[in-house]
Amino acid sequence: MSKTVVITGSAGLIGSEAARFFHERGFRIVGVDNDMRQTFFGKDASTEWNRRRLEADLKSYRHVNADIRDEVAMSKLFAELGGKVCLIIHTAAQPSHDWAVRDPFADFSINATGTLVLLELCRRHCPNAPFIFTSTNKVYGDRPNSLPLVELETRWELDESHAFHKRGIDESMSIDQSMHSLFGASKVAADVMVQEYGRYFGLKTACFRGGCLTGPSHSGTVLHGFLAYLMKCTATGSPYTVFGYGGKQVRDNIHSHDLVNAFWHFFRNPRSGEVYNIGGGRHSNCSMLEAIELCESISGRRLDHTYEEANRMGDHIWWISDTSRFEAHYPGWSPQYDIAGILEEIFTANHTRWREAS
């Protein structure tokens, strides 16, 4: 069996975690990344530091500085690799619904057209390789805000009588007739196309609709990566703004290692056209107020934060993923990291680098 894994967005949070995970298991890694994160969010969000670390640490890592929308460059790469590719992990994206408004064409071309380029090249050159797509819970738009929510002291919570209360939101929630943000719409297009290449062409594809993906390799910035950026601001004394909902909005957070471990389980027993809500679930979630308190406790510093009453358009008030569909298909998987453990690791791994850079 061939042993090459192609990872797009390889210098980012999930891409780099996947590169290390599969490299440790004996796979050759071809990482595709052109540091678009710096273009989106500025120099502080660059992933160059992480790319250099991958190249230094992983002897079987090959970096390809290319744009996934570049059909010529990507076709050349896939024609060269051909049947050697045993898995494609597609994590490259424009990830911010705020940034998407600035340049809708770039957002859609990266998220939708770039995904289509990769799917078609998979079909032509390595149709037996599973195709894993990091989708997003934003495909559901703001529909979760219509759930019966209850305001508590530090968080919003779902009414206990609702079917989603115990485990979280499952894949039965409609993606229609809701406001997605332009980013959410471009990810919907990619998500549906990944499903279609599984159902129509029989490729082994899966959309992992993530909640908040996080971990120590996240280049968190004001427009994306809230947990890493929150800890960065707390540790460095940088100002932070909380937008709306009284700071009680709830997110589940999944550590990058737990997500990539889910990819591993899918890779070993792939299915076609699958969709999975994936996140920290009831095991790992917090409100903004609860996250601030944890960051301050771990770092020993106070966060300099202000509050803006207006929430971001289409932002979720409460999101917790029900991962039971994935767990039913892959009962050997379960998340290992909780919120406190995630934040401890983010702080320990980065506080020295953050302070030196500030």
Give, as one character, the DSSP assignment of residue 246: G
CATH code for 4-357? 3.40.50.720
Q: Which residues contact 28 (CB under 8 A, 6 or more apart)?
A: 3, 4, 5, 60, 62
The region of weakest confidence among 42-56, 207-221, 313-327 is 207-221
Q: What does DSSP say about strands 156-158 and 149-151: parallel, antiparallel, or unpaired?
A: antiparallel
Q: For residue 218, what pLDDT band results from cuts at 50, 70 and 90?
A: confident
Q: What integer is the mean pLDDT of 122-142?
A: 97
Give, as one character, the DSSP assignment of residue 200: T
- Per-position DSSP letters for 302-318, written without gaps between them: ---EEEESSPPTT--SE
CA–CA distance, 264 with 22 (Å, rounded to integer): 8
Domain ranges of the chain: 4-357
Give the pLDDT confidence score for residue 1 in this predicted structure.
44
CA–CA distance, 324 with 169 (Å, rounded to integer): 10
Strand partners, 214: 255
- Cα dihedral: 289, 174, 119, 201 (round 10): 150
Q: What is the model's pTM?
A: 0.94
Give the pLDDT confidence score for residue 222 in this predicted structure.
66
Q: Which of 50, 9, 36, 31 is nearest to 353 (CA)?
A: 50
Q: Interior CA angle at 290 toward 287 and 292, to 5°?
A: 110
Give the pLDDT confidence score for residue 97 in this predicted structure.
84
Mean per-residue pLDDT of the chain: 95
CA–CA distance, 13 with 108 (Å, rounded to integer): 21
Q: What backbone phi and psi angles, to 5 degrees, belong to 14?
A: -75, -40
Q: What integer is the mean pLDDT of 177-204?
A: 97
Q: Which of 12, 158, 21 is nearest to 96 (CA)?
A: 12
pLDDT digits (tens, 9 = 90+) for 137-163: 999 999 999 999 999 999 999 999 999
Give the pLDDT confidence score for residue 16 in this predicted structure.
96
